Chain A
């Protein structure tokens, strides 16, 4: 009977899935780092208020946010070769995921910065602070705590979107489970284990982010 859970088989494939988990975490980490930096760049560019720049950028962000990530992954991976540029699955996957999530994070940053009351900006100005000091010492410390919840959501989100990298052959969890399935014709254990691994990692991360937010709020005396 094919639906019987086989424990020996489970133990046999577990090490392979564990290694794939490392790849999944690596992909989430790199993707998130790209998204955090690029998102900040977008958010700051949007704050310049220079219309010829902000209007196209806003529309581009909207475009990337409302189209499927899996299609963007394909796009980045296949468009290069058409123009003679070959990108490895890892590189194109990281570009696609990083870019996709940077658009979400730029919104999180923007909302955080806009939530800082006007009076704070005016007070910084009245104290003759430089723009740099205003951002570093007044605005960002206050914009941070409300942003953490959103940033945490997208960290978990990026982690849960990495299986899409399997479509271009990045050897993360999903791809490994597919490979195991097609080698052994057993799909029950690999797919179920992948689900369990995702649950075991994403639930604690979400809980940890809530704790972290409370901790940052306390640290900043809010």
Chain B
């Protein structure tokens, strides 16, 4: 079967799988960014309880595998009475996992904002919250955007694992098509190419655009 016949026949399924992957990616990104910010800031907090909660979250999710976390959240949490639909369990575990890596980026970026900026905000008698939001975080964003680009590609790759709890994403469709036709090169090959296109021609250019926009915005003010 030529690749064109293959795409003609299975294009619809691959497209629907891609849409699921994109949805998983977007939702997991939101979870990851929120948790990265919260725990990255939490790790720098003076409150001991907040600091330890952040450290425990970061170490647990960085220290174990995404697949283990995914299975745990999907198969073990229901035993404690918390049953999540597979779609939710999927993006939640990917987001929590990547968020723990993002937390270190947030912490590192905040700490690398020059001391003078902190002192200046203090001298202007800004409240800690205002200092963080108006002075430190905007500059930290510029520092951490490039590594976040890499992390979001890791996140995209992570979403492929949700196929293992039967979320019908791109990976899942490729596996199904392979199972019914044994056209492995075509099935897995086209899925690989689609992931590559998403990473290289959508996520990377978007992050570059964000970097430029942020740099412009900061230099103007």
Contact = CB atoms under 8 A, between A and B. Distances in A.
A78 B69 CA distance: 26
Contacts of B60: 195, 199
Interface in B122-177: 153, 156-161, 163-164, 171, 174-175
Given A3-B79, A160-B64, A195-B72, A78 B199 contact: no
B172 to A, nearest CB: 11
Q: Is the interface of A mostly helix, strand, loop or mixed?
A: helix
A162 B66 CA distance: 11
A99 interface: no
B199 to A, nearest CB: 4
B199 A191 contact: no
A78 B191 CA distance: 14
A47 to B, nearest CB: 22
B120 interface: no
A68 interface: yes
A163 B76 contact: no
Chain A interface size band reads: 35 or more
A127 interface: no
B13 to A, nearest CB: 16
Contact of B63 (A63, A72, A191, A203): A203
A82 interface: yes
B200 interface: yes
B57 interface: no
Nearest to A161: B65
Interface in A10-68: 62-63, 65-68
* Central interface residue in B81, B160, B178, by most chain A CB within 10 Å: B160
Interface string A89-120: 00000000000000000000000000000000
B76 A199 contact: no
Contact of B174 (A71, A163, A203): A71
A174 B68 contact: yes
B6 interface: no
Contacts of A203: 59, 63
A181 B75 contact: yes
Contact of A67 (B161, B175, B192): B192
Interface residues of B, number: 42
A202 B62 CA distance: 9
Interface in A151-179: 160-164, 166-167, 174, 177-178
Given A70-B171, A74-B178, A181-B75, A198 B196 contact: no
Nearest to B175: A74
A66 B65 contact: no
Contacts of B62: 202
A195 B157 contact: no
A202 B58 CA distance: 13
A70 B160 contact: yes
Contacts of B161: 68, 70, 164
Given A161-B65, A198-B65, A199-B63, A67 B182 contact: no
Contacts of B189: 75
Interface string A180-206: 010000011001101100110011001
B79 A66 contact: no
A57 B68 CA distance: 33
A2 interface: yes
Contacts of A87: none
B71 interface: yes
Given A78-B184, A174-B67, A71 B200 contact: no
A66 B68 contact: no
A209 interface: no
B188 interface: yes
8 contacts: A67-B157, A68-B158, A69-B157, A79-B185, A82-B183, A187-B76, A198-B68, A203-B63
Given A68-B159, A174-B65, 13 more contacts: A3-B80, A3-B81, A63-B192, A66-B195, A68-B171, A71-B191, A71-B192, A71-B195, A74-B175, A75-B188, A75-B189, A174-B68, A188-B79
